[in-house]
Structure 1
Amino acid sequence: MPHNLRVATFNCENLFSRPRIFAQTPATSKELLGYVAELQEALKNDIFDKARIKELEEKLKGFATVNDLRGKHDSNAVIGAKDWLGGVELTRTGFSDAAVENTARVISDVDADVICLIEVEERSLLQKFHDGLLYKDFLEPAGKSEYKYVYLIDGNDPRGIDVAFLSRIPVTSFCSHIHETTLYEGKTLKTFSRDCLEVELVAPNGKPLHLMINHFKSMGYSSGNDLQSNRRRLGQAQRVAELLDRHNLKNDYVIVAGDLNSDPSSPSMQPLITKPNLYNTLLNLPASQRGTYGTDSKQLDYILVSDALKQHIQDVKLERRGVYSKTKWVPYPTVKNTRTQASDHAAVIVEFLLP
């Protein structure tokens, strides 16, 4: 009996929490930040003024909390800065933002068995997004299954721009490459700007499915020890090509997916675009329909598949409705401008019919 498999990749761009303080009016934010500074100072005193600390905590309720690792700062004992361990933490926003809701709408409509997600802050946030918004408000009401497997490993980007994935099919193993380094003109740098996250799953027909999730170096130049982005992406593509050599692409189910930040014509993409037995699935679409970024024609997002999977492709499409456009397509009614769009990237979707 044939088995259906749908795989997608989506740079969701906005799965980041935000301090609730900064969602207020400028005057309110300034006042609250003043209380935060005062609370921080109060917690440095040799003897705590507990009445004042309690008063400040009440003023900051819903906006900041004291993370007390030993549970002592509000005890009845006379204590001070040397007797406790912790700090003041800003409360992060939930998922009421229109852009994040549209992100959930895209993922729900894509309805993939496995979806690679690019630009996600952390795993706990992704789990909360799945449980509290994606499944509760979109998947479950539509009679769609939850994602049992919610994975993210912190990568090399100090801003918390990580790669992640959601899966309904079993995960058997995964491997991170954040530790790998490359020598550029005498400077040792991390090979991957974020990560090349390798995942092994069980395809619906029981065969292993090997997935490599990537977010290559951004298109702009960086300062400091980071060299030009094209050279960084070339090195990243070369390393992924090396990892592909561990597989027999004629027989093994292998996918390279994510935001590779270069058009297929770019020299930095050639190690993958010209890789024998590896296929760019968007070639199934007319050239004018392959643009995945913004409203132009650039393909930055990819699902590259081994020949073993290429022969089972049934459909390739893009979900663009989460991207705001005035004329090129009709976005979701809830995508009213670039502020409310789910992302400036379309989701790439490939459907397979496996034997």
Structure 2
Amino acid sequence: MVTVAAYNLENLFARPKAFDPLDWSAGEPILQAYGEFNALITNDTYSDADRDRMRELLLEVGVYYRNTHGAIRRRPSPTPAWAWLRKNRGDFDRQPRDTTDDVEITATGRGDWIGWLELATEPTDEIGTRMTARVINDVDADIIAVVEAEDRPSLVRFNHDMLNRQYRHVMLVDGNDERGIDVGIMTKPGFAIGTIRSHVDTEDHIGTIFSRDCPQYQVTTPGGTVLHVLVNHFKSQFGGGDDKRRRQADAVRDIVDDLVADGQHVIVLGDLNEGQPSIDKPPESLKALFDDDGPLVSCYDLDGFTTGERPGTFDTCSIRNRLDYILISHSLTPAFTGGTVFRKGLWGTRKTRPTAWDTYPDMTANIHQASDHAAITIDLDL
């Protein structure tokens, strides 16, 4: 029996402060300002309007502040509230000695300096990290796709220090997201990872498609079955994102179509960031993956997959909070024997302990949760 799982870890040891799951409303404008600033600084030439907007954005993220004179100044802090302005070479701004004068952005274009805006991080809760390890131990998957891991060294350290090195292969390839929320995979001994293909550069007529990546791992089981595992973390729902997720689903479908046409077994899994409007309706933007005549079947539509008292995988676990999925090619459905949503490490944003599912007794508050996502698993007789 082969157990395959997907789990959004919400970072293992350090997480951007703006990703506070208990108050998303506080972090959302910071993330928007962060993205807008890093997009603006790529311009070859900075107009006066660009520089004015950059200054506003740096005020928003706390790199600049208004002093008692009302002047905009640099905020000197080794532990910023939200972000650092990293400057490697060249000059970006100038701060006059007179504290009644505003800081001035002197760079006239990207060629004047090398730097970027970087989100400040903070350690994750130690109990929460232990609960994350407990979830993974209890799920006991042979192949587990991980979402929102900060980098491969952190994932390797986590496997060594907290999972007793139970995973032989730990792989994570940096994707398009600069914030340290990448996707990766861990497999147990006997489940060799062969070919790895990144899709970070995949584009359509609009531009880059994947927010993180859609890494394609060729995993061979001890019995010799070759699986093509596509790990995904689609665009978040903050600020909409429907069109982006639709483009991502279409791109994944194209990859799957080619693999299936070549006679390959395929598994698509991860946090697709869109729930279903109802039990019998697929996510609106993800229809390419849920096409009745398509190459994939959702785990939720397979006989023997159980969700417990709630249908979803995120926070309250309503059907609209069903964000995590495992989809398998039709060639694998005869091997499917069961699967489940594992919620013991999930507390959510509520103040009191959830009552709709069992939780670990070590968790006494939402800050202790392993993740605000549940893990999902399937079993295949391969």
Deviations 1:81-129 (A, max 9, x none): xxxxxxxxxxx98887111110000001110000000000000011111
CA distance in 1, matches of 2:202, 2:220: 27
In structure 2, give the amino acid aligned to 1:191.
Answer: I
Deviations 1:258-289 (A, max 9, x none): 00011243321100001523110122346764
In structure 2, give the amino acid aligned to 1:320.
Answer: R
Secondary structure, aligned partner of 1:182? coil
Task: State yes or no: 1:266 paired with 2:286.
Answer: no
Gap change, CA 1:106 and 1:263, over 3 Å in 2:
same
Describe how 1:1-355 pairs up with structure 2 within 5 A: 4-17=1-14, 33=78, 97-135=126-164, 146-168=166-188, 169-184=191-206, 188=207, 190-221=208-239, 228-248=240-260, 251-264=263-276, 265-274=282-291, 276-284=294-302, 285=305, 289-297=310-318, 298-324=321-347, 325-354=353-382
Gap change, CA 1:286 and 1:166, over 3 Å in 2:
closer
CA contact (8 A) 2:325 2:376 kept: yes
Query: TM-score, normalised on structure 2?
Result: 0.65
Gap change, CA 1:231 and 1:95, over 3 Å in 2:
closer
Deviations 1:144-175 (A, max 9, x none): xx101000001111101100111011111111
CA distance in 1, matches of 2:123, 2:284: 41
Gap change, CA 1:115 and 1:250, over 3 Å in 2:
same
CA contact (8 A) 1:323 1:335 kept: no
Deviations 1:177-212 (A, max 9, x none): 11122333xxx3x21000001000102320211100
CA contact (8 A) 2:237 2:274 kept: yes
2:57 maps to none
Deviations 1:1-52 (A, max 9, x none): xxx1100000011324269xxxxxxxxxxx9949xxxxxxxxxxxxxxxxxx
Percent of pairs with identical residues:
36
RMSD: 2.5
CA distance in 1, matches of 2:298, 2:269: 10
Secondary structure, aligned partner of 1:248? helix
CA distance in 2, matches of 1:301, 1:191: 19
In structure 2, give the amino acid aligned to 1:246.
Answer: D
CA contact (8 A) 2:195 2:218 kept: yes
CA distance in 1, matches of 2:288, 2:333: 19
Gap change, CA 1:327 and 1:197, over 3 Å in 2:
same
The number of residues matched between the two structures is: 265
In structure 2, give the amino acid aligned to 1:314.
Answer: T
CA distance in 1, matches of 2:180, 2:250: 24
1:83 maps to none
CA contact (8 A) 2:306 2:340 kept: no
CA distance in 2, matches of 1:95, 1:128: 15
Gap change, CA 1:217 and 1:245, over 3 Å in 2:
same
Q: Where do 5+ consecutive residues of structure 2 fail to align?
A: 17-75, 80-120, 277-281, 348-352
Shift of 1:252: 2.8
CA contact (8 A) 2:149 2:183 kept: yes
CA contact (8 A) 2:306 2:339 kept: no
Gap change, CA 1:134 and 1:94, over 3 Å in 2:
farther
CA distance in 2, matches of 1:160, 1:256: 22
Gap change, CA 1:352 and 1:289, over 3 Å in 2:
farther
CA distance in 1, matches of 2:131, 2:201: 34
Q: Where do 5+ consecutive residues of structure 1 fail to align?
A: 20-30, 35-91, 137-145, 222-227
Deviations 1:226-277 (A, max 9, x none): xx40000000000000001112279532100000011243321100001523
CA distance in 2, matches of 1:302, 1:14: 19
Gap change, CA 1:96 and 1:158, over 3 Å in 2:
closer
In structure 2, give the amino acid aligned to 1:177.
Answer: H
Q: Pick the structure with greater CA Rg.
A: 1
Gap change, CA 1:333 and 1:249, over 3 Å in 2:
farther
